[in-house]
Amino acid sequence: MTDLGVGIIGNGIRGRHGYEHYLAAHPAVRLRALAQYPEASPGLLEGQTEDNFRRVAEGLGADYLGYDVDGLLARDDIQIVSMMVEPGRAAEYVERIAAAGKHIVSDKPMAGSVAQGRRIVESVRRHGITFMVALNERYSPPFREAQQRLASGNMGKLLAATVTFCPGGPLAGFTGNTAYRESFGGGEWANFGCYCADYMNWLTGSKPVSVYGHLGTFFYEDYVAAGMDDLAECVVRYEDGVIGTLIAGRPRATYAGSYITADLTCERGSIRVNGNMPVLEIAAQQYSLRGYGSPGLNELCGEFVEAVRHGAPSPIPAEDGLRALQVVHAAYASARTGRAVDPLSL
């Protein structure tokens, strides 16, 4: 296999994850270098210094380039960038990386605003690179099988669905802050609502035409001070008539069993997905309970590598990341106005 080199831009940003470990599981991939980006918000670095970034690079067996992003992008032995910059900086870095002809894997949310998301879509199209936003619940085995069961037609038409992403309280050491809110475009709904929105968009294969959102800060005083929401509920109506209820946030304790769930009501039965245990329950003319293994991240990144190698479409392209952003930010707009919002008008 031809080696594909991976460069990492950004490290240690709260709420941003790199996918270089999963990319490197593919036999054609080699980790080459890491560079921090100089504009990283101090509030999102939470005290980490250059020594931290250097140790990460050493642990990966990659060259540490300091803040020399241009040097990383100039390297001929790097074809893919694992981009870990904060959402508010994502559009400008996609433009730089794509102009250098490198392919990109990015964490969610794809950007801090819909306008920034549109810049990413435009840049990816203009430069013809492969871009993937890691909305990885599509690759959680029970969530994926639920979509496949639905697509088979055996359950009949999807009528309504509830998708929930509510892990427990904030990660250790995190304090709500304005830098986070400004870069992510909101609080926990901006962070987690995109998972719910993308899965619902993917299930229906239809355009969202109306979003009504309720959100607030119910649990954490530091979130109140920072103007960050910690829980939201959003109702989405789709062009084909499906109604989706999306719930995301960080309550003080997670729901019993799993914090990632989906309940699908169909013409000929129902499907319940439990993403953490993980199991899939199907109720129709027959009932089954199935267990699963890995969360699917190796498969997700493996498919991205194969797309790069063979010039195939991205498993989760920028357009899908933008559509999830539109639903998320339509809910914010709805909560401000008290009226339903057309997400595609944003």
Task: Quote the pLDDT of residue 332.
Answer: 98
- Report pLDDT digits (tens) over 150-182: 999 989 999 999 999 999 888 888 999 999 999
Please check the confidence at residue 290 and state whether its pLDDT lies above 60.
no
Indicate whether 293 pLDDT > 50: no
- In-domain check, residue 57: yes
Would the pTM of this model clear 0.85, i.e. be above it? yes
Count the Cβ atoms, other than its own, within 10 Å of residue 273: 27
- Shared domain check, 176 and 281: yes
34 and 104 both lie in a single domain: yes
Same-domain status, 70 and 166 = no
Nearest residue to 189 via CA among 142, 161, 146, 223: 223
Q: How many domains does the chain fold into?
A: 2
233 and 177 both lie in a single domain: yes
Same domain for 156 and 16?
Answer: no
In this structure, the answer to whether residues 15 and 157 fall within a common structural domain is: no
Same domain as 152, residue 72: no
Are residues 268 and 168 both part of a single domain?
Answer: yes
CB 94 within 8 A of CB 123: yes
**Domain endpoint, select from 88, 111, 134:** 134
Residue 305 lies in a domain: no
- Do 85 and 125 reside in the same domain of the chain? yes
Does 313 reside within a domain?
A: no
List, for residues 58-88, the tens digit of each pLDDT value. 999 999 999 999 999 999 999 999 999 999 9
pLDDT of residue 162: 98
Is 49 within 8 Å of 90 (Cβ atoms)?
Answer: no
User: Does a structural domain hold residue 184?
Assistant: yes
CATH of the domain at 331: 3.30.360.10
Tens digit of each residue's pLDDT (9 = 90 or more) over 95-111 = 999 999 999 999 999 99
Using a pLDDT cut of 90, give the percent of the chain over it.
83
Q: Indicate if the alpha-carbon torsion angle 303, 307, 313, 317 is positive or negative.
A: positive
Find the domain containing 67 and state its range: 4-134
CATH code for the domain in which residue 100 is found:
3.40.50.720
183 and 55, same domain (yes or no): no
In a domain, 246, yes or no: yes
Please indicate, yes or no, if residue 80 is contained in any of the structural domains: yes
Task: Say yes or no: 153 and 193 in one domain.
Answer: yes
Same domain, 211 and 239: yes
